[in-house]
Structure formats: structure tokens, C-alpha cells
Amino acid sequence: MAALLQLLKETAIRIGEACRTRWIDLDPKQKTIRIRAEKNSNPRIFHISDKLLNMLNILPKKDEHIFTANVRSLQSYCLQLRKRLAKRLSNSRLKEIHFHTLRHWKATQLYHQTKDILYVKEFLGHKKLDSTLRYINIEKALYYNDGAEDFHVKIAEKPEEIKELLEVGFEYVCEKEGLVFFRKRK
């Protein structure tokens, strides 16, 4: 279950896509996993973390599929775990978390970090932008702060400095008096 949850967290794939993933879809050398799409969406290839790769590598290879249980049995098992954890921690909201919650969480985080709805659309494998637009509303509800955005701001003069800032995710804002201004969301 831990490997499955880590996969869902990192890739935002659907539980059905996870259950269809086969060992041949995993490339340990490239640290990638190929996802066969469902719901008429697009197939994707994701880079995965060392943590997830190690978790997957210790799973038994009894079948061509990485996760041998079907969707319903995984959902049932996860429901039992959530109920036990909710009771132990006295937090009934834990019962509301489902596999698809991780998909929503990842998409919302990606949109918050990038503000690039097309990137999120491709990441999720959506064919239509309308399917992805719901994550903007979730992001606004979670991160709205009276319109103020929090940014790291950097100034560069030399081409090497500009290159370094762009490589670590800063975006160009403007140029004034020979100085180039960049920003990146905190």
C-alpha cells in the first residue's frame, strides 16, 4: 500500500492506471514509469524518485502487473486503514481521503507552483482543458491571500547569473538600468 500511495502522490495517476501498470512499464535505469491511460486520456511517462523506485523494487514480482490486487480490493483495504487511523488519531476527516484525493492534491500543487494550466493538463493526461480548469478553483480557494503573491526576487547583471537563475526556476520580470529582475514563487 505504501508503494501504491507514493506512486499516486508523485504522478497523480488514477487508481485504475496504477493497477494496469506492468513491470515492463518501469525503467529502473532511467527512473521512469510509463502509464497506460484510462478514461480516454493520454498516456504519460513520469520520472520517479529514488524512494519510489526502491519501494517498487522490493515488491514481489508474482505477476506481469506491479500491483496485483484489483481496484475494488485496494479501495476496500484503504478504507479499513483510514477508519483505523481516523479512530486512533481521533480525526474523522481522514475517512474522506481517497486515492483520487492524491490526484487532486498533486494537480493543485503543480498549478500553484507553476501557474501553467497547460503543463498541469499534460501532467494529468487530460485531453480537454475544461477537465483541468477545476484545479484552478481549488488552488485559489487554498492559497488566496488578498491577491498578494509571495516571491523570491533576484537581480542579475551578467549572462552567467541570468543563466543560473533561469536554471533554478526564476522567471524574467523586466530589465532596468542594466539590471535584469527575476522572481520565483516561494
Q: How far is residue 15's CA from residue 75's CA, in Å, rounded to a whole number?
A: 9
Residue 153: alpha-carbon gap to chain centroid: 26
pLDDT at residue 57 in the model: 94
Domain 2-142 belongs to what topology? hpI Integrase; Chain A (1.10.443)
pLDDT at residue 71 in the model: 86
Average pLDDT of span 55-84: 91
Residues of the chain with CATH 1.10.443.10: 2-142
Q: What is the tens place of the pLDDT at every residue in 4-20?
A: 999 999 999 999 999 99
Residue 126: alpha-carbon gap to chain centroid: 14
Of the chain, the percentage scoring pLDDT greater than 70 comes to 92
Q: What is the tens place of the pLDDT at every residue in 94-142?
A: 888 888 888 988 988 888 888 888 999 999 998 888 888 877 766 766 6
Please state whether the predicted TM-score (pTM) of the whole model is above 0.85.
Answer: no
pLDDT at residue 141 in the model: 65
Q: Which residues pair with 180 in a beta bridge?
A: 156, 175
pLDDT at residue 114 in the model: 85
CB under 8 A, 24+ apart: contacts of 5-9: 5/102, 6/49, 6/51, 6/52, 6/55, 7/33, 7/48, 7/52, 7/56, 8/99, 8/102, 8/103, 9/102, 9/105, 9/106
Of the chain, the percentage scoring pLDDT greater than 90 comes to 45
Mean pLDDT, the chain, whole residue set:
88
Instruction: Give burial (CB, 10 Å; 0-12/13-18/19+) of 117.
Output: middle
Distances (CA, A) of 39 to 15, 17, 25, 104, 126: 12, 9, 19, 16, 9
